[in-house]
């Protein structure tokens, strides 16, 4: 029996309606079901942020880590027990900002982790400040005069770090393609990073001004 | 005379093999049955500067290196100068220079004869073996095992030194007590001893980022990783180190990290994470002189309060301080047991002096400590399992690891309920905090108790912790005071009630620490009314020597 509900905790998600994280969680759960992975063999590691708040909603072994630290925690799990399916879920702030060195290291190691970044170009849980992917000059709560930094192009960076890893971009605008890429990432043998561009319905409007 | 201690020192610029030849001499003594304790000083440089290696040995156990030197070998001109204060009237200095203070030893000439100027150190060994009247062929054998490469040249240099000494120094031979060969002894520094404790305690995940003086354990375990089939990982930074080890512990590893104060500063966020998620792992912290980069290769006990109060928020944490190499081994495996038993972070404190000084110890490889994995469900769960169940009086709840069906749970850095789901409910938050904190009380039953040395009816009581143990015990031997005892606090957090009881029985209290502010005084004062009569504090990067403490005990 493979059904979606066995990967659900039954908790009602706390995201805004229309938030892109709904699509990511259903894509992940569908992929688990399609591949029929037992819940006890999944370890999902979550960052702090709106994306990381998925922790309460997926039924599996889980670690809701500190901000920025998903990747090393997941590496520890995977190094110790390579049989487990280990994934990381977090935002652009945690994974490309606070924890970028860890991401680069995991890519260099080409360790079999699946990293899903819900890239909303903002720090959303903290109510909308600039993040490593915020467009140059975009006005946010912490950069009312415009963001002084050029955005980080994480996928290009990781591809440069290690061309052998899986590093791709997806968008919430195209759910079908997104689901297919989630599947590709999960099936990839080695390190996989999927950057999912999404719009924060609560704080994303500032970026369009 | 039985128990007489002899001290030998080799000094010179870095890069001349001072430590190597010193260690070799220690092994020669060890293999001829002597008890040895060494100590070396070196600057944070690769070449040049001034390095020293000294060893104290005796036919009975030597618990600390002594200050006063019997034989000093200076491998380069003038390098003996800083050590004149360490010389007694009959002490001898050997150097390749004409100076009324030294015995002329033509190192340059002899080394050339041996075929290479780098053999100056081995020539000194030949001289030492002659002066100490050690067994020549046994010493040769030790040397052969020590230098698998360049054996021939080294043997030649050794012989030249020995012959030169027998021709020129035959009246200078030292009187040392002879003894029969003892077996089963090895020579380990504190970092290796901790490494052995980790291996024998079935530690199977060790992560570190090189930082003097903790790196010895990383090197030791990395070299053993294949044989023992364990993970040893040099991670990208100390933040990665700690979080990786926490992930491994969550997955079922007996996990530890090693660093010094600066590295631990980066880990202090993670120790708090381990506290709330109840991930048990060991932090092996080898202090050096701070603040900041400080004096990397020198010893200190300046991080006690930082370690005890590390991490944001309130959570149970156990802090152990081994006092010698044997305890570094013992606390190595015990800490792994405690980590799994109490499901909380365990700190083991060492320092440069203990971590990098070697001593004659039992062969740790032969030890078989008991392994305790606590309330671990690694096969199946019971009905009603909840990872963070709060009903147990001891504060410990049952734990599963990935792969165990039905045991899925969330290790959550947010406050959580019994299943691990986030909660901000005031009642649940109170219960969960209290559950975790009850483990501190449980810890008092199973952590190393304070140890009293000396008479039970003491009047004066020395209180200390960590690596000062050896120098204190040797100084007490020198003092021979029947009313002087020493209380070694082995678990610094939580504190056992015996500490207060034993302190209250003393008329006078002497506190000894390698720091400036007497951090142990601060810690004890926070627990009960405490006023030491005298504080002996040293914070210049050097350990205490028995002689200087003895002077202070008078
Ligand atoms: C060490 C630390 N610094 C800061 C924070 C506060 N914080 C929580 S979430 C967050 C940023 C989240 O941004 P992102 O990772 O992009 O996730 P999002 O909320 O956008 O999904 C920050 C700065 C924290 N929890 N820990
Ligand atoms: S604030 Fe933005 S990212 Fe967070 S839940 Fe709402 S829409 Fe999603
Ligand atoms: Mg974001």
Q: Is residue B40 part of a domain?
A: yes
* A190 pLDDT higher than 70: yes
Q: Mean pLDDT, to the nearest integer, of B420-442?
A: 98
Q: Which fold has domain A40-208?
A: Rossmann fold (3.40.50)
B512: enclosing H helix or E strand: strand B508-513
Residues B341 and B204 occupy one common structural domain:
yes
Q: Is residue B1 part of a domain?
A: no
The CATH number of the domain holding residue B96 is 3.40.920.10
Specify whether the CB–CB gap between A151 and A134 falls below 8 A: yes
Q: Which of A37-41, A118-122, B180-184, B323-327 has the lowest mean pLDDT?
A: B180-184
Write the secondary structure of B126-159 as one string of H (helix), E (strand) and C (coil).
HHHHHHCCCCHHHHHHHHHHHCCCCHHHHHHHHH
Banded model confidence at residue A3, pLDDT cuts 50, 70, 90: confident
* B108 pLDDT higher than 70: yes
**What is the pLDDT of chain B when averaged over all its residues?**
96
Place of tokens 């006078």: B508
The CATH number of the domain holding residue B330 is 3.40.50.970
Query: Considering CB atoms only, which of B243, B252, B255 is closest to A72?
Result: B243
User: Which tens digits make up the pLDDT trace of A49-87?
Assistant: 999 999 999 999 999 999 999 999 999 999 999 999 999
How far does the centroid of ligand 1 lie from the alpha carbon of residue A125, in Å? 6
A119 Cβ below 6 A of ligand 2: no
User: Which tens digits make up the pLDDT trace of B348-375?
Assistant: 999 999 999 999 999 999 999 999 999 9
Q: Mean pLDDT, to the nearest integer, of A9-24?
A: 97
Residues B350 and B203 occupy one common structural domain:
yes
Residues B82 and B147 occupy one common structural domain:
yes
Whether residue A158 is preceded by a cis peptide bond, meaning omega within 30 degrees of 0, is no
Q: Which ligand is nearest to the CA of A93?
A: 1
Whether residue B204 is preceded by a cis peptide bond, meaning omega within 30 degrees of 0, is no
Task: Measure the CA–CA gap between B308 and A62, rounded to whole angstroms.
Answer: 29
Where does a domain end: B448, B473, B499?
A: B448
Residues B38 and B105 occupy one common structural domain:
yes
Q: What is the dihedral of CA B188, B192, B193, B195, to 10 degrees?
A: -160
Task: Measure the CA–CA gap between B552 and B554, rounded to whole angstroms.
Answer: 6
Residues B97 and B11 occupy one common structural domain:
yes
pLDDT of residue B388: 98
Q: Mean pLDDT, to the nearest integer, of B128-154?
A: 93
pLDDT of residue A121: 98
Ligand 1 atom 26: residue of nearest CA: A67
Q: Is residue B177 part of a domain?
A: no
* Domain positions in chain A: 40-208
Smallest CA–CA distance from B246 into chain A, residue: A73
Domain boundaries, position B525: 451-553
Residues B455 and B394 occupy one common structural domain:
no
* B389 pLDDT higher than 80: yes
Distance from CA of B207 to the nearest CA of A (A): 9
* Beta pairing class for B231-234 and B205-208: parallel
Return the half-sphere exposure (C-beta side, CA atoms, 13 A cut-off) of residue B425.
10
Residues B206 and B162 occupy one common structural domain:
no
ipTM: 0.98
Total Cβ atoms within 10 A of residue B183: 7
* B429 pLDDT higher than 90: yes
Predicted TM-score (pTM) of this structure: 0.98
Distance from CA of A40 to the nearest CA of B (A): 5
* B1 pLDDT higher than 70: no
Specify whether the CB–CB gap between B53 and B18 falls below 8 A: yes
User: Which tens digits make up the pLDDT trace of B512-532?
Assistant: 999 999 999 999 999 999 999
B358: enclosing H helix or E strand: strand B358-362
Q: Is residue B227 part of a domain?
A: yes
Q: At what angle do helices B215-228 and B190-200 cross, to 10 degrees?
A: 30
Chain B interface includes A14 (CB < 8 A): no
User: Which tens digits make up the pLDDT trace of B488-499?
Assistant: 999 999 999 999
pLDDT of residue A1: 45
Quote the tokens at residue B267: 């880990």
Quote the tokens at residue A94: 């945690």
Q: Is residue B98 part of a domain?
A: yes
pLDDT of residue B179: 66
Where does a domain end: B331, B366, B401?
A: B366
Cβ pair A63:B411 closer than 8 A: yes
Q: Which residues of B touch A (CB under 8 A)?
A: 204-205, 207, 231, 233, 235-237, 239-241, 243-253, 255, 269-270, 273, 277, 402-414, 420-422
Number of domains in chain B: 4
Q: Which of A59-63, B11-15, B187-191, B508-512 has the lowest mean pLDDT?
A: B11-15
Residues B441 and B346 occupy one common structural domain:
no
Cα-Cα-Cα-Cα dihedral sign, residues A117, A122, A124, A125: positive
């Amino acid at each position: 029996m493979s059904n979606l509900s066995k990967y659900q905790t039954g908790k009602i998600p706390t995201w805004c309606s229309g938030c892109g994280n709904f699509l990511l969680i259903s894509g992940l759960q569908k992929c688990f079901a399609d591949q029929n992975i037992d819940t006890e063999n999944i370890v999902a590691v979550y960052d702090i942020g709106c994306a990381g708040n998925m922790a309460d909603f997926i039924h599996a072994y889980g670690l809701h880590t500190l901000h920025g630290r998903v990747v090393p925690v997941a590496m520890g799990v995977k190094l110790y027990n390579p049989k487990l399916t280990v994934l990381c879920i977090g935002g652009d702030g945690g994974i490309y900002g606070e924890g970028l060195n860890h991401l680069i290291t995991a890519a260099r190691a080409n360790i079999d982790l699946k990293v899903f970044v819900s890239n909303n170009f903002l720090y959303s849980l903290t109510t909308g400040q600039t993040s490593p992917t915020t467009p140059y000059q975009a006005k946010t709560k912490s950069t009312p005069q415009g963001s002084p930094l050029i955005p980080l192009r994480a996928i290009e960076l990781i591809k440069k770090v290690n061309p052998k890893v899986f590093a791709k971009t997806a968008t919430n605008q195209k759910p079908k393609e997104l689901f297919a890429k989630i599947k590709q990432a999960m099936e990839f043998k080695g390190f996989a990073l999927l950057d999912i561009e999404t719009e924060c319905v609560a704080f994303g409007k500032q970026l369009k001004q | 005379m039985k128990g007489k201690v002899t001290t030998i020192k080799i000094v010179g610029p870095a890069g001349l093999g001072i430590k190597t030849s010193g260690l070799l001499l220690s092994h020669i003594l060890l293999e001829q049955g002597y008890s040895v304790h060494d100590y070396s000083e070196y600057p944070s440089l690769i070449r040049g500067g001034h390095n020293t290696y000294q060893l104290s040995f005796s036919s009975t156990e030597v618990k600390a290196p002594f200050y006063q030197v019997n034989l000093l070998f200076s491998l380069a001109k003038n390098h003996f100068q800083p050590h004149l204060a360490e010389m007694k009237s009959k002490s001898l200095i050997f150097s390749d220079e004409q100076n009324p203070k030294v015995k002329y030893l033509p190192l340059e000439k002899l080394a050339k004869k041996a075929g290479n100027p780098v053999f100056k150190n081995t020539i000194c060994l030949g001289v030492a073996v002659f002066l100490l009247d050690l067994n020549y062929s046994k010493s040769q054998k030790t040397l052969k095992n020590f230098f698998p490469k360049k054996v021939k040249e080294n043997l030649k240099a050794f012989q030249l030194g020995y012959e030169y000494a027998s021709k020129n120094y035959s009246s200078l031979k030292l009187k040392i007590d002879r003894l029969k060969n003892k077996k089963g002894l090895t020579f380990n520094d504190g970092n290796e001893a901790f490494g052995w404790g980790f291996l024998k305690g079935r530690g199977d995940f060790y992560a570190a980022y090189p930082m003097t003086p903790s790196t010895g354990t990383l090197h030791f375990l990395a070299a053993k990783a294949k044989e023992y089939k364990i993970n040893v990982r040099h991670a990208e930074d100390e933040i990665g180190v700690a979080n990786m080890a926490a992930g491994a512990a969550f997955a079922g590893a007996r996990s530890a990290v090693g660093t010094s104060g600066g590295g631990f500063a980066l880990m202090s966020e993670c120790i708090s994470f381990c506290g709330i998620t109840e991930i048990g792992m060991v932090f092996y912290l080898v202090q050096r002189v701070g603040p900041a980069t400080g004096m990397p290769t020198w010893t200190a006990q300046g991080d006690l309060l930082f370690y005890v109060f590390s991490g944001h928020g309130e959570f149970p944490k156990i802090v152990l301080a081994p006092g010698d190499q044997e305890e570094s081994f013992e606390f190595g495996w015990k800490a792994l047991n405690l980590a799994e038993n109490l499901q909380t972070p365990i700190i083991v404190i060492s320092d440069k002096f203990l971590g990098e000084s070697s001593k004659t110890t039992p062969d740790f490889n032969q030890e078989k400590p008991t392994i305790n994995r606590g309330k671990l469900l690694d096969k199946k769960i019971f009905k009603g399992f909840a990872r963070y169940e709060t009903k147990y009086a001891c504060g410990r709840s049952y734990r599963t690891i990935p792969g165990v069906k039905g045991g899925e749970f969330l290790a959550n850095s947010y406050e959580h309920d019994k299943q691990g789901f986030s909660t901000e409910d005031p009642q649940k938050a109170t219960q969960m905090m209290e559950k975790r904190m009850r483990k501190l009380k449980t810890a008092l039953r199973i952590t190393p108790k304070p140890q009293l040395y000396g008479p039970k009816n003491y009047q004066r009581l020395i209180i200390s912790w960590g690596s000062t143990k050896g120098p204190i015990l040797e100084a007490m031997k020198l003092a021979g005071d029947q009313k002087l005892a020493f209380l070694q606090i082995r678990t610094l957090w939580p504190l056992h009630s015996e500490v207060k009881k034993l302190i209250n029985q003393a008329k006078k209290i002497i506190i000894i620490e390698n720091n400036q502010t007497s951090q142990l005084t601060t810690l004890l004062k926070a627990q009960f009314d405490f006023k030491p009569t005298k504080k002996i504090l040293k914070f210049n990067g050097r350990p205490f020597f028995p002689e200087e403490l003895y002077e202070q005990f008078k």
